[in-house]
A = this chain, B = another copy of it.
Amino acid sequence: MAVQKDFSVDCVVFGYHEDELKVLLIEQRMPETSAGKEKRYALPGDLVQDNEDLDDSASRVLKELTSVELENAYLKQFYTFGNPKRVKGLRDQQWLRSFRQDPDARVITVAYYSLVKMEDYNPVAASFASETVWMNVDEVPALAFDHNTIFDKALATLREKIKYYPIGFHLLPKKFTLSQLQHLNEVISGEELDKRNFRRKVQKLPYIIPLEEKQKGVFHKPARLHVYDERFKE
């Protein structure tokens, strides 16, 4: 008899807060009988349901996490992981035996990455997790299954993509200042940018729209706000 097979999706959800790039992790609830009781984190994900398309499955995972309708979330498939041993670790097996119908199934997972505006976002614990946290991307601990591999590839993909395409906006509030945008770019690319050159270049872009509105309640000269013209959404 052939090995039982299953499909899942996993989502690498990026956010940005206080000049730091974050990723959303769930704390994996371990079974009572489990040996190690320390916390363990995983990427949010789930089995693909019968008759459910892959993109819909990823959207559902995201939606269940936030209990918010994220009508326009940026969510892209980026890679599929199918190593036959990817769910065969000891603790992975313990978890699967408690929470999955077919713990011995071979599971390949289609991975998505998502960029969200953290302030719109209110993640809640899903049924199979006890807690969600935003973790600094530099401080991601050892994760369940092959999720470190998935996360690393997601981050590399994001960095690669942002070199050529202006997708960073999805991480910022609707109205943002040019400094916020610059810091975001610096954090993701890891390079410092010259303020004047950056502003000149950005202001030339057709999809960055300056508003008349200014920041309020700040401790210094208030910055002009800008919006991203969503019609350019890739």
Contacts and interface: CB of A to CB of B under 8 A. Distances in A.
A52 B77 CA distance: 22
Chain A: interface secondary structure? mixed
A5 B102 CA distance: 13
Given A108-B54, A164-B164, A79 B82 contact: no
Contacts of A83: 53-54
B106 A50 contact: yes
Copies held by the complex: 2
A164 to B, nearest CB: 7
Nearest to A52: B84
Interface residues of A, number: 22
Contacts of A52: 84
A80 interface: yes
Given A3-B50, A3-B51, A51-B3, A110 B84 contact: no
Interface of A: 2-3, 5-7, 48, 50-54, 77, 79-84, 106, 108, 110, 164
Given A80-B80, A108-B110, 8 more contacts: A3-B50, A5-B5, A7-B82, A50-B84, A52-B84, A53-B82, A54-B83, A54-B108
